[in-house]
Amino acid sequence: MSTIERDVLERLDRAGVGYYITGSEALAVWAEPRQTLDIDIVTDLPANRYEAVIRPAFEDAYLVNDLIVVEGRGYGSVIHRTEVRKADLMMRRDDAWGRAAFERRRLVDDPVLGQAWFISPEDLLLAKLSWSDGGASERQLRDSASITRIQSNLDWEYVDRYADALGISELVERVRGDR
């Protein structure tokens, strides 16, 4: 088990912070795995609570980076002081999709992390495509195509509804056709 990543999740739990794992760690659960150097975590913590909650929960063993707010959404990270392992912490989007993705997170018994909350495969697909810079990121498109190939029971009605809201419907159609 990856003890540093597990420790981050346990500290979030103890601090009462809801979370789900996204990015490459989630990709390893729902599609073809890809090497990563950190863990990406979305939290339900409002950006204005980051300092009061994250710093005291982590600063004994981690360097806690200051929160950066971009377009109303907070991004922070914690870096273990001796193992030099990093967890990126993103504050949940405060829109319909952000709330829906959090409600749809799934508790998974992961062979590396143990029992942990993960983004759903549908929401991972939406997240990857929304981060793809309009389809310019080949890595995000490859990851998205992998999800559609391996997850045969995706809820396409849900995907289509939020793809429309996120302005990525054309990208969804592109990866849907790659199956």
The tens digit of pLDDT for each residue in 3-45 reads: 899 999 999 999 999 999 999 999 999 998 887 778 999 999 9
Q: Are residues 138 and 171 in the same domain?
A: yes
Q: Are residues 106 and 138 in the same domain?
A: no
pLDDT of residue 172: 94
**Domain count along the chain:** 2
Q: Are residues 41 and 127 in the same domain?
A: no
pLDDT of residue 178: 61
Q: Are residues 60 and 19 in the same domain?
A: yes
What's the CA gap between 177 and 142, in Å, rounded?
A: 13
Q: Are residues 110 and 169 in the same domain?
A: no
Q: Are residues 112 and 129 in the same domain?
A: no
Q: Are residues 91 and 127 in the same domain?
A: no
Q: Are residues 130 and 89 in the same domain?
A: no
Last residue of a domain, one of 99, 119, 139: 119
pLDDT of residue 84: 80
User: The domain spanning residue 71 has which CATH number?
Assistant: 3.30.460
Q: 17 lies in which domain range?
A: 1-119
pLDDT of residue 133: 73
Per-residue burial over 25-57, b if 16 or more Cβ lie within 10 Å, else e, is bbbbbbbeeeeeeebbbbbbbebebbeebbeeb
pLDDT of residue 1: 42
What's the CA gap between 158 and 120, in Å, rounded?
A: 11
Last residue of a domain, one of 119, 136, 156: 119
Q: Are residues 100 and 145 in the same domain?
A: no
Last residue of a domain, one of 119, 147, 169: 119
Q: Are residues 107 and 154 in the same domain?
A: no
> Is the distance from CB of 122 to CB of 158 less than 8 angstroms?
yes
Reported pTM: 0.93
The parts of the chain modelled with pLDDT lower than 50 are: 1
